Amino acid sequence: MNNYTITFEPGNRKIIVPEGSSIKEALTSAGLDFDFPCGGRGTCGKCRIKVLEKNLDPTEKELKYLEEKELLEGIRLACQIEIHDNITLQLNTEKENTHNILKTSTERSYSVEPLIQKVYTAVKAPTLEDQSSDFKRLKESIMLKYPNCKAVKIKIDALQDLPYKIRESEQSVTVIIDKNEIIGVEQGNTTNKMLGIAFDIGTTTIVAYLMDLYTGKELAVSSSLNPQVKFGADVISRTSYANQNEDGIKTMQDALLKIMNKLIDNTVEISGLSRKDIYAITVVGNTCMHHLFLGLTPRYIAAAPYVPVISETIELDAFKLNFNINKAGKVFVLPNIAGFVGADTVAVVLATEMDKSKDIKLAIDIGTNGEMVLGSSKKLVSCSTAAGPAFEGAQISSGMRGASGAIDHIRFGEALTYTVIDNEKPKGICGSGLLDIIACFVEFGIINKRGKILSPDKFTNPAAKAYENHIISYDGANAFLVVPESETSHGRPIMITQDDVTSLQLAKGSIAAGIKILIDKCGVNIDDINEVLLAGAFGNYMDPHSACMIGLIPKELESKIRMVGNAAGTGAKLALVSRSEYEHSNTIASSVKYVELAAEQSFNKAFAKGLQF
């Protein structure tokens, strides 16, 4: 399968995706905030974009919603385009958009003062009257030009280059500075060549953002499956692997670093830039990913009392992790809050500025674990719920990840309708589809309060009548046939079993209980919550109405739900382009209170209640 490059304009942002991907997938991977009002089903005609280079044949749905004139101009519906070639797209066809990348998930201002700085300066030539050392003359010239510059130290590698560089370039050099230390010296003026990479390491997916540290703009995005998946699907099984294999941590760290270097390669390739101009890397991830990235044991996260090794930022030389970037490059790792609330959650708070807001906000990032933060500038409390992998399609009989062939949305109208990613024949259901169908079950009374799939004779809602023939018997219990075998790509039926409902019930029950406990711990009422921020891939795909219908999120909050894209990635990018944001992450990590649900007496009661539909 080929990979193709999608370039988004304005902003010249590039992302590499496999052939057959949808624009919607690409936008989500890129963390771009683009609105699909109907969820990408081609039923609203609102996701207009402009194809700049190619004219592809319009789909039936496009012919329905777009005028002849629009089609001639290259206007298309984003949800309808499949990628089979490199393509350039104009995202905003209505008004000029400065397209500040960091506004993609959350509109916020920040100042560009990157973790690594470059200073161009002319160094005085030495004379018999001024025999000051090269380093002293360099420092004096920097201070003269930038009185606030704090560079007082120099790394040995930079010092070794210094005498040559200043003499090769008639004493004019660009100095690379990390806080108070000169880490590199380059000939001439290279201040406009200063790149950084922000990494968001998820349990399943790794995303790399190539940033221009000079302008603060994003240049390219690349993502990949986390190669540690082969050592275990979730953090608990990876911890077991680390505990049970002598070099387990090293093995998983190496696998991760290899892919991270590959992602760096991808981003510089698509942007036509050089790895050697990358000086800084920021990293966020859940606490286990954070630990495995740094070669720290996750052993004591996984067992009570679940403590991380470190909960502060830590910096190290990029060469120590074999990163193939500028030899002076540095890695900046954001801090963790607790064993199960990691640097990714800190990054979400950083991106959304929840800690600076007077309004009370609830941020939810659902993956294998559901991490939540609730509060305002006064107080923030967080927790993590072992949601299990149901929302990622794992341990669901017909479940799959949100990839080609996955049913991602389902509606019960007069008949059952669904949409499939990439418009293929369906082969399974992903998290958002699962959420939708369970919501339909609840709405139509196909399951009862306890989550039991009812036999048709127990249906009380007349509307459910139309779905009687979907109820089948499977493994000694009722099941719901979603797609018969004749209509699937693999010739097996797609269905929801009683076990599937139970899996989702446990997942939503623990998240609902987590929200309940946080509300109590925060000392607020549900009505006090001004906004619910859904972060992460699943959060951005799922239907808020469905989430409220099944009780994942309290119904009262439905109108307050806002998708914030990959806020963790946004936080990593912010930290990269702004040292004060990076440093502020420590304040967040130490001030967000962590609630250990396992230690809460009220959790079991809340969980039991949360299980109900």
- Kindly identify the residues of this chain, within the stretch 119-158, that bind its own copies according to CB under 8 A: 126-136, 153-156
Are 79 and 36 in contact, with CB atoms under 8 Å apart? yes
User: From the CB of 257, what's the least distance to its own copies, in Å?
Assistant: 13
Instruction: Examine residue 601 and tell whether it contacts its own copies (CB under 8 A).
Output: no
Contacts with its own copies by CB under 8 A: the residue count is: 46
Pair of tokens at residue 277: 């101009």
User: From the CB of 338, what's the least distance to its own copies, in Å?
Assistant: 6
User: From the CB of 331, what's the least distance to its own copies, in Å?
Assistant: 9
Instruction: Examine residue 338 and tell whether it contacts its own copies (CB under 8 A).
Output: yes
Instruction: Examine residue 296 and tell whether it contacts its own copies (CB under 8 A).
Output: yes
Closer residue to its own copies, CB minimum distance, 27 or 185: 185
**Which span (171-179, 304-312, 400-408, 576-584) binds its own copies, by CB under 8 A?**
304-312
- Return the ∠ at Cα 585 (arms to 580 and 586), rounded to 5°: 105
Instruction: Examine residue 512 and tell whether it contacts its own copies (CB under 8 A).
Output: no
Q: Is the dihedral of CA 20, 21, 22, 23 positive or negative?
A: negative
Closer residue to its own copies, CB minimum distance, 480 or 594: 594
**Which span (143-151, 301-309, 534-542, 565-573) binds its own copies, by CB under 8 A?**
301-309
Closer residue to its own copies, CB minimum distance, 155 or 193: 155
User: From the CB of 206, what's the least distance to its own copies, in Å?
Assistant: 20
User: From the CB of 345, what's the least distance to its own copies, in Å?
Assistant: 15
CA-CA distance, 15 to 26, in Å (whole number)?
7
Instruction: Examine residue 336 and tell whether it contacts its own copies (CB under 8 A).
Output: yes
CA-CA distance, 432 to 544, in Å (whole number)?
10
Instruction: Examine residue 457 and tell whether it contacts its own copies (CB under 8 A).
Output: no
Q: Figure out which of the listed residues 144, 316, 477, 608 binds its own copies, where binding follows CB under 8 A.
A: 316
Where do the H-state alpha helices sit in 272-339?
A: 287-294, 299-302
List the x/- string, 536-575, binding to its own copies by CB under 8 A. ----------------------------------------
Instruction: Examine residue 304 and tell whether it contacts its own copies (CB under 8 A).
Output: yes
Instruction: Examine residue 257 and tell whether it contacts its own copies (CB under 8 A).
Output: no
Q: How far is CA 401 from the centre of its chain?
A: 15
User: From the CB of 352, what's the least distance to its own copies, in Å?
Assistant: 24
Residues 6+ away with beta carbon under 8 Å from 94 = none
Q: What is the DSSP string of 193-225?
A: --EEEEEEE-SSEEEEEEEETTTTEEEEEEEEE
Are 477 and 497 in contact, with CB atoms under 8 Å apart? yes
User: From the CB of 160, what's the least distance to its own copies, in Å?
Assistant: 5
Which residue in the block uniquely carries the two structure tokens 């293929």?
424
- Kindly identify the residues of this chain, within the stretch 575-594, that bind its own copies according to CB under 8 A: 594
Closer residue to its own copies, CB minimum distance, 295 or 456: 295
Total length of the chain: 613
Instruction: Examine residue 307 and tell whether it contacts its own copies (CB under 8 A).
Output: yes
Are 202 and 226 in contact, with CB atoms under 8 Å apart? yes
CA-CA distance, 431 to 406, in Å (whole number)?
9
Closer residue to its own copies, CB minimum distance, 97 or 240: 240
Are 439 and 546 in contact, with CB atoms under 8 Å apart? yes
Instruction: Examine residue 309 and tell whether it contacts its own copies (CB under 8 A).
Output: yes
Q: Figure out which of the listed residues 61, 179, 262, 299 binds its own copies, where binding follows CB under 8 A.
A: 299
Pair of tokens at residue 306: 């679940």
Are 607 and 509 in contact, with CB atoms under 8 Å apart? yes
User: From the CB of 594, what's the least distance to its own copies, in Å?
Assistant: 7
Q: Is the dihedral of CA 523, 525, 529, 534 positive or negative?
A: positive
Instruction: Examine residue 294 and tell whether it contacts its own copies (CB under 8 A).
Output: yes
Q: Figure out which of the listed residues 295, 327, 395, 531 binds its own copies, where binding follows CB under 8 A.
A: 295
Is the backbone of residue 174 left (phi > 0), alpha (psi -120 to 50) or beta? beta
Query: In a 10 Å sphere around its CB, with 0-12 CB exposed, 13-18 middle and 19+ buried, how is residue 169 labelled?
Result: middle
Where do the H-state alpha helices sit in 114-234?
A: 134-145, 156-168
Closer residue to its own copies, CB minimum distance, 118 or 155: 155
Q: Figure out which of the listed residues 100, 297, 530, 591 binds its own copies, where binding follows CB under 8 A.
A: 297
- Kindly identify the residues of this chain, within the stretch 151-210, that bind its own copies according to CB under 8 A: 153-156, 159-160, 162-164, 167
Closer residue to its own copies, CB minimum distance, 155 or 470: 155
User: From the CB of 193, what's the least distance to its own copies, in Å?
Assistant: 25
Closer residue to its own copies, CB minimum distance, 249 or 504: 249
CA-CA distance, 557 to 481, in Å (whole number)?
31
CA-CA distance, 540 to 604, in Å (whole number)?
29
**CA-closest candidate to residue 15, choices 541, 569, 417, 412:** 569
Q: What is the DSSP string of 546-586?
A: HHHHTTSS-GGGGGGEEE--SHHHHHHHHHHHBHHHHHHHH
- Chain positions contacting its own copies, by CB under 8 A: 126-136, 153-156, 159-160, 162-164, 167, 294-297, 299-300, 304-312, 314, 316, 320, 336, 338-339, 594, 596, 598-599
